[in-house]
């Protein structure tokens, strides 16, 4: 595992683990790590399985998906902090898909991970086991009809997670017509507060009509790739030059890494979810709540908070029984810890101080 580390100069520091999302890297925590280390923490941020300079995984589309399932990603996190000599982690912090991994760390090993911070992707809880089926056997799970309904809209659409699960998407993103660097610039811009179309609000239901209200990076036009989708909202050169949260010199790190690795390692995570191959394993924790202190941080202009109708509300009222903090930050879209790092650092340290006194 390739790891960025801060606050390693002295022994005995409490540990904070930072888990990135898609399409990001440990590098995405570059503005957070120094502040946490200055506050006295040993901060560890890996390139997760499938990403960056971490090795030992396969990008074969036809290969085994099991190494990318959520329980194995939790084992990666546990094995990493153990390797550094920590039996306890004061906080596991995850962003985007890393938020889901952090949540499952809290569900599976609350004895190790003492608190959890989820960022930009709320957690709906473990999948439920069928209940009360002695006299009424559970219905067989069928294909979600929402996908046919999306494709049948007057403006035909498709959900990005199911697009991300298809064979051709890695090539679409790794070799886009505009070039990889420009593709990533458009992708990060489209989901940030810089794009004026990001004005999120709760959706009412998991229906095609409601989902079609999401921006095209979540519910795409049926006939378009993600590269084509973001090319249509590409910022101009002046906007790129004025970008302070992701200047071209920092974007170049992402584009160099993804040029080398492609995107399939991260896309395998989505395939584990859309295929539902590992739901039975996750049902082991059916009805389990997150009982350790928890927090949620996102941008006010991040549609990720609402992309799955009802999840944001369920996380606060049912899934997390000890939610200490839930904050949506002004001036931030999806890449909250990069767009508004000072506010994120203040919230993280405030959360940790409330736990430790």
Q: Where are the domains of the chain?
A: 3-126+279-356, 146-268
- CB–CB of 83/3 below 8 Å? no
Pure H helices in the chain: 33-38, 70-83, 97-108, 146-151, 160-163, 169-174, 180-190, 208-211, 226-231, 237-242, 248-261, 264-275, 279-282, 311-314, 336-339, 341-356
> Which residues have a Cβ under 8 Å from the Cβ of 117 and sit 6 or more positions away?
91, 92, 93, 94, 102, 294, 295, 296, 297, 348, 351
Would you state the pLDDT for residue 356? 82
The separation between CA 316 and the C-alpha centre of its own chain, rounded to angstroms, equals 18
Would you state the pLDDT for residue 143? 85
Superfamily of domain 3-126+279-356: Alpha/Beta hydrolase fold, catalytic domain (3.40.50.1820)
Task: Please calculate the CA angle 215-302-240 and round it to the nearest 5 degrees.
Answer: 80
CB atoms near residue 327 (< 10 Å): 17
- CB–CB of 219/164 below 8 Å? no
Would you state the pLDDT for residue 251? 98
Would you state the pLDDT for residue 278? 97
- CB–CB of 23/184 below 8 Å? yes
Would you state the pLDDT for residue 256? 98
Give whole-number Cα distances, 268 to 57, 170, 176, 329, 353, in Å.
Answer: 10, 10, 19, 30, 37
Cβ-count burial 7-37 (b if 16+ within 10 Å, e if not): beeeeebbbbbbbbbbbbbbbbbbbbbebbb
- CB–CB of 289/125 below 8 Å? yes
Regions of the chain where pLDDT drops below 50:
none
Would you state the pLDDT for residue 61? 98
> Which residues have a Cβ under 8 Å from the Cβ of 66 and sit 6 or more positions away?
72, 278
Residues in the chain: 357
């Amino acid at each position: 595992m390739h790891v960025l580390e801060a606050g390693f100069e002295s022994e005995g520091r409490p540990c904070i683990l930072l888990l990135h999302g898609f399409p990001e890297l440990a590098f995405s925590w570059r503005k957070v790590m120094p502040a946490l280390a200055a506050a006295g923490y040993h901060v560890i941020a890996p390139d997760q399985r499938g990403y960056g300079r971490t090795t030992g995984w396969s990008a074969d589309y036809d290969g085994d998906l099991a190494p990318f399932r959520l329980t194995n990603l939790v084992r990666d996190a546990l094995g990493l902090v153990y390797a550094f000599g920590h039996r306890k982690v004061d906080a596991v912090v995850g962003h985007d898909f890393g938020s889901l991994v952090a949540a499952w760390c809290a569900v599976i090993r609350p004895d190790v991970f003492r608190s959890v911070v989820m960022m930009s992707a709320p957690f709906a809880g473990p999948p439920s086991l069928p209940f009360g089926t002695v006299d009424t056997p559970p219905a067989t799970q069928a294909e979600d009809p929402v996908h046919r309904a999306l494709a049948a809209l007057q403006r035909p659409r498709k959900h990005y997670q199911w697009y991300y699960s298809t064979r051709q998407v890695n090539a679409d993103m790794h070799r886009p017509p505009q070039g990889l660097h420009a593709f990533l610039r458009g992708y990060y811009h489209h989901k940030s507060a810089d794009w004026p179309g990001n004005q999120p609000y709760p959706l009412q239901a998991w229906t095609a009509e409601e989902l079609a209200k999401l921006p095209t990076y979540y519910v795409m036009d049926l006939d378009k790739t993600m590269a084509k989708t973001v090319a249509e909202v590409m910022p101009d050169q002046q906007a790129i030059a004025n970008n302070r949260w992701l200047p071209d010199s920092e974007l170049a790190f992402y584009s160099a890494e993804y040029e080398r690795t492609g995107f399939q390692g991260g896309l395998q995570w989505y395939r584990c979810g859309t295929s539902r191959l590992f739901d039975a394993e996750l049902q082991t924790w059916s009805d389990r709540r997150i009982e350790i202190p928890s927090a949620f941080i996102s941008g006010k202009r991040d549609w990720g908070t609402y992309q799955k109708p009802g999840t944001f509300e369920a996380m606060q009222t049912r899934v997390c029984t000890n939610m200490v903090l839930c904050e949506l930050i002004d001036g931030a879209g999806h890449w909250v810890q990069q767009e508004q790092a000072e506010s994120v650092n203040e919230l993280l340290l405030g959360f940790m101080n409330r736990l430790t006194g």
